[in-house]
Amino acid sequence: MRFERCRMLFGEENFKKLQSAKVLILGVGGVGSYALDCLYKSGISDITIVDYDSYEASNQNRQIGSEGNIGKSKVQTLAQIYEGIKAIEQKMDIAWVEGFDFESFDLVIDACDTTKVKIELAKKVHKKLIMSLGSAKRTDFSKIEVSTIFKTHGDALARKIRNELKKARFNKNFTVIFSPEEPKCKDKGSFAAVTGAFGLAICSEAVKKLIDN
């Protein structure tokens, strides 16, 4: 009874909503891989993941799938671990966002690293978007917040996205996961307790949205 505990918690009708949901995850690194793991273990099997990178040794401190798979494709590796998910090995840029068909997905999870792509995604799929903001350089998972983009504070990436959206006269809100914790270093330091918690927070919000809808 693999999902017995999920059925007990959510109720049979709500669990059926999760089983029938279709989710797209953009970026399966330190945040996206944990979101994938949580969603998959919650009964959502129709998941498509998109990423272009291969695992590097520096990924092993925070990314699910990285152990023993240096040099291998992230999406192909995860597709073997999580049976039945769909993998798209694709570099995400503005042209890709403009050309990709998001219509069939119930939720789009943005865990990618490129600011311009994040902004373009917001413009195109804000109604079903959950966006991860800055999770690196932080150590305190308890500072993580769930809000909407125009209510974020203390996060440089969020501020940049807000400003660019305002310049484009885009005022639609969407869900974001962020932390106002002051960065603890200048470079790309990261900690699985925080990056993973971002992914789990995304999963929690995704489940709530799918059940509510």
* Structural domains in the chain, sorted by start: 4-212 (3.40.50.720)
Q: Are 113 and 92 in contact (CB under 8 A)?
A: no
Mean pLDDT of 192-206: 98
State yes or no: pLDDT of 59 exceeds 90: yes
pTM equals: 0.96
Distance CA 12, CA 4 (A): 10
Work out the angle between the directed axes of helices 12-20 and 192-212 (0-180°, nearest 10): 110
Which of 126-142 are b and which e, b meaning 16 or more Cβ less than 10 Å from the residue's Cβ? bebbbbbbbbbbbeebe
- Strand 175-178 versus strand 145-148 pairing type: antiparallel
pLDDT for the residue 23: 98
* 188 confidence band (pLDDT: 50, 70, 90): confident
The whole-number average pLDDT for the span 167-173 is 93
Size of the chain, expressed as the number of residues it contains:
213
Q: What are phi and psi of 75, to 5 degrees?
A: -70, -40
User: Looking at the predicted structure, is the pLDDT value of residue 125 above 90?
Assistant: yes
